[in-house]
């Protein structure tokens, strides 16, 4: 991990259920459950603003300081969002050891501009926004950087340089991003032009003018 693991204070939850969880969220707390290492799940709550800030910064591992239990290194396993999908309403964490190998999804940051993108009609498509990786907890990166400067038509996982100790779960031939050429649309025909009879138009132009 490129940054120091953040420490977050957690409080035990004596009661659970959707009604009590709503009360917690109204008070600025995020309900969560801590799992791991053969122990029973522990219901906790953390400061919502604090944890959301760390999540936004790309944190995947936090140090929980739980009242009466001491500190635990925890991996953020799952986030549950509200029905609009724009706010976190619940979080699952798992106790881990820094040398434990885990599988996580890491955001992908694309940088650079492929030379082939300068072609007329060229469109860049980013097929993967998060990459599933496997590595030790201590080696979890905040992001995966994909350099597109040398890219031609496509870029696969096998062509991306991953941080040391990190491997991708998907195969090396999986496409990360690609470029396709958008076909030009044909010109719209003039309305009524296809109904005109060239022979009839020519005959009409040769008719003599009528005399008064």
pLDDT at residue 192 in the model: 57
Q: Which CATH architecture has domain 7-96?
A: Beta Barrel (2.40)
pLDDT at residue 201 in the model: 56
8 Å CB contact between 75 and 94: yes
Strand-pair partners of 102: 135
What's the whole-model pTM score?
0.73
- How far is CA 184 from its chain centroid? 31
Dump the DSSP string for 152-203.
SSEEEGGGS-PPTT-EESS-TT-EEEEEEEPPPPPPPPPTTGGG--HHHHHH
Reported as a single tens digit per residue, the pLDDT across 62-76 is 999 998 888 999 999
List the domain boundaries for the chain: 7-96, 104-181
| Residues with Cβ within 8 Å of residue 147, at least 6 apart in sequence | 111, 112, 161
Reported as a single tens digit per residue, the pLDDT across 4-44 is 789 999 999 887 888 888 888 999 999 999 998 778 899 99
Residues listed for the chain: 212
pLDDT at residue 87 in the model: 85
Angle at 165 between CA 160 and CA 171, to 5 degrees: 45
Reported CATH class of domain 104-181: mainly beta
């Amino acid at each position: 991990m490129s940054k120091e693991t953040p420490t977050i204070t957690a409080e035990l939850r004596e009661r659970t259920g959707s009604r009590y969880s709503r009360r917690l969220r109204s008070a600025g707390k995020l309900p969560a459950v801590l799992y791991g290492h053969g122990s029973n799940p522990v219901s906790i709550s953390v400061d919502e603003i604090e944890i959301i800030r760390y999540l936004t910064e790309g944190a995947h591992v936090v140090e929980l300081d739980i009242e009466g239990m001491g500190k635990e290194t925890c991996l953020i396993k799952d986030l549950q969002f509200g029905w609009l999908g724009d706010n976190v309403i619940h979080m699952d964490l798992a106790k881990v050891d820094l040398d434990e190998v885990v599988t996580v999804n890491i955001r992908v940051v694309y940088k650079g501009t492929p030379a082939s993108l300068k072609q007329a009609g060229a469109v860049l498509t980013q097929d993967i926004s998060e990459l599933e990786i496997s590595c030790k907890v201590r080696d979890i990166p905040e992001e995966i950087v994909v350099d597109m400067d040398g890219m031609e038509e496509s870029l696969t996982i096998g062509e991306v340089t991953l941080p040391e100790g990190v491997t991708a779960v998907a195969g090396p031939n999986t496409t990360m991003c690609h470029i396709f050429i958008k076909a030009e649309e044909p010109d719209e025909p003039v309305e009524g032009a296809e109904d005109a009879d060239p022979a009839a138009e020519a005959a009409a132009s040769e008719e003599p003018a009528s005399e008064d």
